[in-house]
Amino acid sequence: MAPVEVDVERPKGDDEPGRRHPNTCPSCRSHYRDDELRHALRVCAQCGHHFPVGALERIDQIVDPGTFEEIGTDLRAADPLAFVDLRPYTDRLLDAELATGLGDALVAGTGRVVGRPAAIAVMDFAFMGGSMGSVMGERFCLAADAALARGIPLISVTASGGARMQENILALMQMAKTVGAVDQLREAGVPYVSILAHPTTGGVIASFASLGDIVIAEPNALLSFAGPRVVEQTTGEKTAPDFGRAESNLRLGQLDAVVPRRELRAELARLLLLFSPAEDEPTGDQGPVPLPEDATIAGEGPVDRVLGRLGLGRRRG
Amino acid sequence: MAPVEVDVERPKGDDEPGRRHPNTCPSCRSHYRDDELRHALRVCAQCGHHFPVGALERIDQIVDPGTFEEIGTDLRAADPLAFVDLRPYTDRLLDAELATGLGDALVAGTGRVVGRPAAIAVMDFAFMGGSMGSVMGERFCLAADAALARGIPLISVTASGGARMQENILALMQMAKTVGAVDQLREAGVPYVSILAHPTTGGVIASFASLGDIVIAEPNALLSFAGPRVVEQTTGEKTAPDFGRAESNLRLGQLDAVVPRRELRAELARLLLLFSPAEDEPTGDQGPVPLPEDATIAGEGPVDRVLGRLGLGRRRG
Amino acid sequence: MVRVSDEVRRLRKRFEARAEESHVWESVQLARHADRPYTLDYAERLFSDAFELRGDRAFSDDEALIAMLARYHGQTVVAIGHQKGRDLAERTRRMFGMPHPEGYRKAIRAVELAERFGYPVLTFVDTPGAYPGVNAEERGQAGMIARSILAFCQASVPVVCSVIGEGGSGGALAIAVGDRVLMQENAIYSVISPEGCAAILWKDAGQARKAAYAFRPTAGACLDLGVVDAIVGEPKGGAHEDVDQAARLLDQAIRQALAEAESVSAAERRAARRAKFRRMGVWGVADEDGADTL
Amino acid sequence: MVRVSDEVRRLRKRFEARAEESHVWESVQLARHADRPYTLDYAERLFSDAFELRGDRAFSDDEALIAMLARYHGQTVVAIGHQKGRDLAERTRRMFGMPHPEGYRKAIRAVELAERFGYPVLTFVDTPGAYPGVNAEERGQAGMIARSILAFCQASVPVVCSVIGEGGSGGALAIAVGDRVLMQENAIYSVISPEGCAAILWKDAGQARKAAYAFRPTAGACLDLGVVDAIVGEPKGGAHEDVDQAARLLDQAIRQALAEAESVSAAERRAARRAKFRRMGVWGVADEDGADTL
Ligand SMILES: [Zn+2]
Ligand SMILES: [Zn+2]
């Protein structure tokens, strides 16, 4: 049985044989310049396909400019097993750091989201498939610590093929370690919002990522414990094209919402408002609670347009 | 929608047109004298069919002779709605009391089961279909009070067609009232064992009866919220012959065990042992914890034969 | 043979008098009126912001029962309600407001979330009953209703429940155990539908009107019997005639009930809620002398 | 570039030395031996009485994961374990010890029951992993494993876990978060099976033996890495050679571990358990000067 694997699969038809340029839409073949795609939050303007987003770019998308302060930056994997497969683990780590500029597959810190403070933990699939090892576990816990210490919500954005096999049992233990951190938040009444990006699988979805007080996914994200290939190879069952996809998960009761990336920051602002302390309202009025002035939302108009009234209709479906 | 109904259905084929003697087995047509059937715990010697058992006879089956003390005996339904359908509610009550000798469809009290004290609440289907009204709710709560006050387990045996329509909304409120009593037991760490006899349906199974720390059913008992006839008439769906039966419920995760009536007292003794306080054991021995001497089990040999070693195998399946 | 209290005698007299005959059936019809405002209609008007909580984290998202985080007069609450659906497509999707076990599991999850953060719970009750289908039964409809009632008993946060349409049986009660239970003037609340009662007791579902008169599912009866704490007025002709006004009246009542529930400690609130439901029921005492009989 | 502690250097040296080469693969084989004692074999020998807790109260009874109330040295405990099954029929029924979400939901229910009564929890870990099928996924396998881990984190009663065969991935960890985690001498515990690891990293499942040497699923490695608290000896040749003796050794170890876990208050125990898992992991610190590199 191998439910945890690093090299996650793409849906059928997503992957052509041979190489495809990362800025070519796998769904409609539109091609974009990188700055174009970045400006569009890496969402295909033609068909709405959501391209992968690196950790730092994701932070730019949701955190107010200039407010992000990273924590745990200097932590690095230490390879206690002196693990060698076809290549040494240390070589793979070096390559990943050079390719991504990151010290591991998760970036932790604090910042403001549309004016409200939050602790942040964002994963990067480009760093060894977003695999969870000791550094990721510790960094996630540091973000949770910051949330706990300051009494501010924790927001995580995950993208992971699962546990990092090169750390074997220590990688597995990060599931217990991160769940313990979520347990502390729950005990203290500190909100935790989990955002699942494509793909969130294996040990990450079977631990902290599933335990958000609110769990939101990006459209079409693959969210499953075992990937479709493992399921098919192990059990001989066929998987449907929508197996494990965000929309299936919503229907199957695992998610609160599937939110297009362009609306994500607005939804986070709404949630941070809802999780903020009660305020006295002036004489029976039911107007929206004021938000910081000048707050804007990426890809949308001013905040109050989004937060003005009940938006249940939009999120249903 | 009418998920709660008083006149519960029997399985297809159970009921012939015309009248059948209550001591004729509906399954194999064997006929018994009443004392014969009573001695056999009202289980058909030929085929194992479980006949209905009245509340007082059930108490005789599971409670040690001479130890039962009834509580809430003088409570009677008061018909606050002055309810009249084809007949006045007060007439139906009078008939039921004359027919059963009971003041309502539940008898509450305390006693000993194979030597260990317990609070007891036993229902009688013969009293207006075991319907739940104000008196049943109050009597159940009195039994729970006794369990709470003395720190002894509560055992209930249910058989009910649902809520008593003649008390309408007050009948419905007995669900909340009895669940509140269970909540108090849970808060205080007082064990509650629920035994479901044929039929346990409607408001009874949708309240206290489902909330036992342990839930046991008798073989072939119908256990469902809506009965099969209501399901078929309301939704147009067909129900399978095993719809709602104890064995289906076990498979579907709703029960801990299906226990034949002949083994019920032994299982209760086992559970009361398991729920009893820890005892120091002599120098590392792992023998069974001693039970009161002379304890016997209805229809079986001495207690230690049953309680001697792990009995998991017997209960599986 | 049964000795009853003055209170019971008073109740019997009231119901024997069969007052408000016409009002009983009018309430049944208004409670089921196709234009009657549903949970979302009130949510839009009562809450300045909301985020829907979906899914039971086990099997599905039951759209017959909705839950949300919402901002109510400047404080965050968890709102839970049945939702019937307005047109045929929505009604089918929402099963006419009849939840499966997944709906109640979602309600339990929402109550637990409220409990973690100390948010009050507001519920809106409007269902013909829990869905009586084979799948619902197989996935443990009865047990999940019991567990939902238990979750509402266990909650230490303030809980205010409002019966806004049909309060149908255990499917309604599963989210109607609160510190304060309000009931709109023309809502109904009963252990079984009038049709179901008639089918069983009169052997004829067509006698629903007769059954309704006999068992009184009205707000007035529920108040007299101590089952609800207050009746919330509706615009003339029923809540659907002026939804904004109906919402204002409901808002006032909920706000006051919430303030009352918030005025005591969590432990007191929980104990008082349990005690309140413990008191429910009416019974007499067997009397061998035959005095003071029914 | 990465500065590591002396402890990490010591670990690297130990694993680079590739000691116990033969023992690694022997453990993999013994842990999966067809005659290896399973949870029920130990339950029969350790408990003087037991009552099986069945069902998740939601969907089904998953026989791959069993739970019971049991009497252990005069006190009642809740025991939870994977159960593989001895013959083909039982193995099929028990899915070779690979639970569906219902199994973990049952485990959570059992932990909650233990918590209500203050009973210690003993777990027996022996699974290739959670079942990787379509239905299991659709009913929320990942989320339920996470919730099971959370339930074990939250428990304030003593929790002693024993890895008695295959400790396979998240499916094992779901019931393996305890105050003390014991591991039998020939049990294995790993984030993925050797075959799975080989298939992914070596692109060839046939390289399982090579993978096992590289990632060390052995009790010795788990102890060195601080993942388990003690190794429990087995009879010569493996636990299946003398099940009674294996049970006696396991009993001794559990009894001692339980006594340790019981020696502190509930709040301390819970905090210590969380702190213990919080410490797990090995990392270095980025060092621009290049001193003390790997
Ligand atoms: Zn495209
Ligand atoms: Zn027979």
Question: Cβ of D246: how many Cβ atoms within 10 Å?
Answer: 26
How does pLDDT run across B66-100, given as a tens digit for each residue? 999 999 999 999 999 999 999 999 999 999 999 99
Answer yes or no: is pLDDT of A138 > 70: yes
Residues facing D167 on adjacent strands: D127, D189
Contact predicate D69/D53, CB 8 Å: yes
Looking up tokens 């089904």, which residue turns up?
D60
Of residues D140, D154, D211, nearest to A254 (C-beta): D140
Chain D nearest CA to A81, separation (Å): 6
| Continuous H helices in chain C | 6-16, 21-31, 39-46, 88-93, 101-117, 134-138, 141-154, 169-173, 194-201, 208-215, 219-224, 243-262, 266-278
pLDDT of B305 over the 70 cut = no
- 3-state DSSP assignment of residue A195: strand
* Residue B293 in this model has a pLDDT that exceeds 60: no
Looking at the DSSP bridge assignments, the partners of residue D53 are D67
Q: Which of the residue ranges B18-27, C71-80, D156-165, D258-267 would you say has the lowest mean pLDDT?
A: B18-27
Chain-wide mean pLDDT for chain D? Answer: 94
Q: Report which DSSP code applies to B4.
A: -
Q: Average of pLDDT values for C174-178?
A: 98
Distance between C18 CA and the closest CA of chain A, angstroms: 41
Q: Ligand 1 center to residue A52 CA distance, Å?
A: 13
> Strand D75-82 vs strand C65-72: parallel, antiparallel, or unpaired?
unpaired
Instruction: Give, in order, the Cα–Cα distances in Å from A231 to each of A200, A234, A236, B43, C57.
Output: 16, 5, 7, 48, 21
Q: Do residue D58 and residue C58 have CB atoms under 8 angstroms apart? A: yes
Residue for token pair 């059936």: C25
What are the φ/ψ torsions at residue A73 (nearest 5 degrees)? -60, -35
The verdict on a CB contact (< 8 Å) between A287 and C76 is: no
Strands, sheet with A75-77, edge to edge from the N-terminal-most edge strand = A75-77, D283-286, D2-3
Mean pLDDT (whole number) for C276-282: 97
- Kindly give, in sequence order, each residue whose CB lies less than 8 Å from that of residue A39, ignoring residues fewer than 6 positions away: none
pLDDT at residue number D7? 87
Q: Range with the lowest mean pLDDT among A134-138, C93-97, D18-22? A: D18-22
What is the per-residue pLDDT for D22? Answer: 72
Torsion-angle region of A220 (φ positive above 0: left; ψ -120 to 50: alpha; else: beta): left
What is the average per-residue pLDDT within D74-86?
97
Parallel, antiparallel or unpaired: strands B69-71 and A257-258: unpaired
Which ligand places an atom closest to the C-alpha of B32?
A: 2
Which of D54, D56, D57 is most worth mutating to test chain C (most C CB atoms within 10 A of its CB)?
D57
**Given this model, what pLDDT does residue C23 score?**
85
How far is the C-alpha of A20 from the C-alpha of A30, rounded, in Å? 12
Mean pLDDT over D134-151 rounds to: 98
* Length of chain D measured in residues: 294
D127 in Cβ contact with D95 (< 8 Å): no
pLDDT at residue A14 greater than cutoff 70: no
CA distance A210 to B159: 41
DSSP 8-class letter at D129 = -
Is residue C245 over pLDDT 70? yes
Q: What is the DSSP letter of B292?
A: -
Question: What is the per-residue pLDDT across A249-281, written as a single tens digit (0 to 9) for each?
Answer: 999 999 999 999 999 999 999 999 999 999 865
- Amino acid identity for residue A158 in this structure: T
Where do the H-state alpha helices sit in D17-166? Answer: 21-31, 39-46, 88-93, 101-117, 134-138, 141-154
Q: How far is the CA of B148 from the centre of ligand 1 (A)?
A: 65
CB-based contact A153:A272 (threshold 8 Å): yes
Question: Residue A4 pLDDT > 50, yes or no?
Answer: no
Calpha distance A267→A258 (Å, rounded): 11
Residues 6+ positions from A40 with CB-CB distance below 8 Å: A32
Looking at domain B53-309, its CATH architecture is: Alpha-Beta Complex (3.90)
Q: Do D137 and A81 touch (CB under 8 A)?
A: no
- The reply to whether C285 touches chain B by the CB within 8 Å rule is yes
Give C274 or B290, the one with higher predicted confidence. C274
Q: Do D59 and C139 touch (CB under 8 A)?
A: yes
**Angle of CA points D229, D230, D233, to nearest 5°:** 165
Task: Please give the residue of chain A at the shortest CA–CA distance from D97.
Answer: A1
How far apart are alpha carbons A5 and A224 in whole angstroms? Answer: 11
Q: Do chains A and B touch (3 or more CB pairs under 8 A)?
A: no
Residue D20, pLDDT score: 59
Distance of CA A19 to the CA centre of its chain: 26
ipTM of the complex: 0.94
Which residue of C47, C61, C251, C255 to mutate against A (max A Cβ within 10 Å)? C61
Give me B154's structure tokens: 């509560």
CB contact under 8 A, C55 and A287: no
Spatial contact of D143 and D103, defined as CB atoms under 8 Å apart:
no
Ligand of minimum distance to the alpha carbon of A48: 1
Per-domain residue ranges of chain A: 17-51, 53-309
Lowest model confidence (mean pLDDT) among A286-290, B262-266, B275-279, D279-283: A286-290
Give one DSSP letter per residue of B132-180, joined into a string: B-HHHHHHHHHHHHHHHHHT--EEEEEEESSB-GGGHHHHHHHHHHHHH
Rounded mean pLDDT, D285-290 = 72
Q: List all residues 6 or more positions away from D13 whose beta carbon is below 8 Å from its beta carbon.
A: none
| From B252, B254, B271, residue closest to D51, measured CB to CB | B271
The tokens 């009993």 sit on which residue? D251
Q: What local confidence, expressed as pLDDT, does residue A15 receive?
A: 45
- Please tell me the predicted confidence (pLDDT) of residue D16: 80
Q: pLDDT band for position D288 (50/70/90)? A: low
Residue C182 pLDDT > 70: yes
> Tens digit of pLDDT for each residue in D186-202?
999 999 999 999 999 99
What is the least distance, in Å, from the CA of D273 to any CA of chain B? 24
Any bridge partners for residue D181, and if so which? D161
- C289 pLDDT higher than 70: no
pLDDT at D60 over 80: yes
Helix/strand/coil for C66: strand
Q: Is the dihedral of CA A93, A95, A96, A101 positive or negative?
A: positive
Radius of gyration of chain A from its Cα atoms, rounded to whole angstroms: 20
Lookup: tokens for A45: 């303007």
The amino acid that residue B208 corresponds to is F
User: Quick check: C64 contacting B, CB < 8 Å?
Assistant: no
Residues 6+ apart with CB under 8 A from A66: none
CB atoms within 10 A of CB D123: 30
* In contact, B230 and B76? CB cutoff 8 Å: no
Q: Could you tell me if residue A158 is left (phi over 0), alpha (psi between -120 and 50 degrees) or otherwise beta?
A: beta
Q: Tell me which of C170 and B293 has the higher pLDDT.
A: C170
Residues ≥6 apart with Cβ < 8 Å to A53:
A41, A42, A61, A197, A261
pLDDT for the residue D18: 65
Domain extents for chain D?
17-293
Least confident of A123-137, A286-300, C68-82: A286-300
Nearest to B2 among C196, C215, C283 (CB): C196
Q: What is the second-level CATH architecture of the domain C17-293? A: Alpha-Beta Complex (3.90)
Residue of C157, C191, C142, C170 lying closest to C79 (CA atoms): C157
Of C93, C77, C97, the closest CA to residue C36 belongs to: C97
Tell me, in angstroms, the distance from the centre of ligand 1 to residue A231's CA.
Answer: 28
pLDDT in the model for residue B303: 34
Place of tokens 């203050």: D118
Centre of ligand 1 to C-alpha A45, Å, is 7
The amino acid that residue C120 corresponds to is P
Short-list D158, A109, B226, D253, CA closest to C170: B226
**How far, in Å, from the CA of A43 to the mean position of ligand 1?**
8
**How many residues are given for chain B?**
317
**Cβ separation of C150 and B179 shorter than 8 Å?**
yes
> Rounded distance, CA D66 to CA D95, Å?
12
Task: Give the whole-angstrom CA distance, residue B20 versus residue B126.
Answer: 16
DSSP C152-176: HHH--S-EEEEEEEEEEHHHHHTT-
Question: In the prediction, which pLDDT does A273 show?
Answer: 97
Q: Which residues are CB-neighbours of D90 under 8 A, at least 6 positions away? A: none
Token representation of residue D141: 């396998």
More reliable by pLDDT, A312 or A95:
A95
Q: Does A237 contact chain D (CB < 8 Å)?
A: yes
Residues in contact with D34: Cβ distance below 8 Å, sequence separation at least 6, in sequence order: none
pLDDT of residue C92: 96
Q: Which of D70, D76, D113 sits opposite B278 (nearest CB)?
A: D76
- Residue in A closest to D278 by C-alpha: A177
- Beta partners for residue A69, in sequence order: A110
* Structural tokens at position D209: 């033996």
